[in-house]
Amino acid sequence: MNYDEYFIMCRENYSQKDKPTLEEFYTNSVIRIPTERFSKVYYESIKELSILVKNDFDLMNDSSPMATHKDFWKYELQIENIINELVPFLEKERFGCCLYVDKIYIYRTSKVKERSSSYLWHYDNNPSEVVKNIIYLNDVTLLNSPFEYLVHPEGKAVLMTPTRRGTKMWNPPPNNSRLTKEVESWLKEGYKSIRVEGKMGLTYSFSNDAVH
């Protein structure tokens, strides 16, 4: 069973009136989560987590562009508080079904002079039903590596078609899903890059197949 088939089955078994439509899910591929609707616990947990992981990263002395925290389970309480607010919102307002949190990463990203690795324009080439959620643990400006994605001239995020969709289809993507040349061409045609600046706690949800 591919992910899209399983997604539909999950939605049918989810008892919610006025759930978001499939069209809304697939077309609204990059959205800001209205965290102002969440409780103070959400923001307090993010603030606590921010202080704690900053100390960890400072001690790691890792100068790589995307330093990865080695043991986020140290902060299970703060992460659980965040998930307990974010996941129910996503279930009701974005997916229309129950969700499974597959992975959690904590990164410290740095501004780079030359793009490489995940800084290259790419898409993740996972099934379209796989969505990533990014939470800023500090204030982010153009000076400290904001999340960036590509939009069409009319403003919609650019989505690629994945070659991995489930048990019936799981193939490697062209050029390892890197799109440097394509994006250079699209930018000349009126496409735009959106760099997301924001305060600590800003939360975005985006399709992993959005060009970012």
Q: What is the arithmetic mean of pLDDT over 86-109?
A: 94
Share of the chain above pLDDT 90, in %: 81
Contact 33, 86 (CB under 8 A): yes
What DSSP character marks residue 177? G
> Over the stretch 37-55, which tens digit does the pLDDT of each residue have?
999 999 999 999 999 999 9
Q: Taking every pair of C-alpha atoms in the chain, what is the biggest distance, in angstroms? A: 50
Judge whether residue 113 has pLDDT over 90.
no
Query: What pLDDT does 54 receive?
Result: 92
Using DSSP, state whether 129 is helix, strand or coil. coil
Confidence of residue 64 (pLDDT cuts 50, 70, 90): confident
Whether the per-residue pLDDT at 135 is higher than 80: the answer is: yes
Give the pLDDT mean for 132-146: 93
CA–CA distance, 182 with 180 (Å, rounded to integer):
6
Q: How far apart are CA 67 and CA 56, in angstroms?
A: 11
**Per-residue burial over 56-86, b = 16 or more CB atoms within 10 Å of its CB, e = otherwise:** bbeeeeeeebebebeebeebeebbebbbebb
- Report the alpha-carbon distance of residue 15 to residue 57 in Å, rounded: 43
Output helix, strand, coil percentages for the chain, rounded to the nearest 5.
Answer: 40, 20, 40
Give 43-73 as a DSSP string.
HHHHHHHHHHHHHHHHHHT--STEEE-S-GG
At 116, the pLDDT band (50, 70, 90 cuts) reads low
pLDDT exceeds 90 at position 36: yes
pLDDT tens per residue, range 15-28: 888 899 999 999 99
**Backbone torsions φ then ψ of 140, nearest 5 degrees:** -125, 130
Mean pLDDT of 64-89: 92
